[in-house]
Amino acid sequence: MEKKHLFGKCPYVTSQKVLTGKWSMYIIYLLEQAGTIRFNELQRQMPEEMTHTTLSRQLKALENEGLIVRTEYAQIPPKVEYSLSEIGAKFSPVLKALEEWGDQYIAYMKQK
């Protein structure tokens, strides 16, 4: 993923780029719910199947973008925890609005 100059001038274009990853919104949501969560547990809680390769890449992308924090414990077997960064935590209102709209949208599409 490796993006540069993500911070342009337009908040919409910027947000869109940050949220490019296919699972980014749900990852942020899970981190917000869990507070802190380990890699494998995160993978298990994803709504659809995904390989750890994919999850790993998305996490790294979000980390590079500054949204999440990765904490590695020097032990064997390895233990790595993820949580939201400060700016990542501020994404919360967006998630809230998104959840409400998403539910309305789902309901609306079902009735058709």
Partner DNA sequence: CAGAATCCCTATTGATACTG
Partner DNA sequence: CAGTATCAATAGGGATTCTG
- Least Cβ distance, residue 10 to a copy of itself (angstroms): 5
Kindly list the residues in this chain that would bind DNA in the complex (CB under 7 A).
Answer: 1-3, 20-23, 38-41, 49-54, 56-60, 70, 72, 76-81
Pick from 1, 7, 71, 73 the residue near a copy of itself by CB under 8 A: 7
User: If contact means CB under 5 to 8 A according to the sort of partner, which of a copy of itself, DNA, none does residue 98 touch?
Assistant: a copy of itself
| Residue 33 contacts a copy of itself per CB under 8 A | no
Pair 28, 88: CB distance under 8 Å: yes
Q: How far is CA 35 from the centre of its chain?
A: 12
Which strand ranges, in their side-by-side order, compose the sheet holding 68-73?
36-38, 79-84, 68-73
Read off the tokens for 93: 């209102």
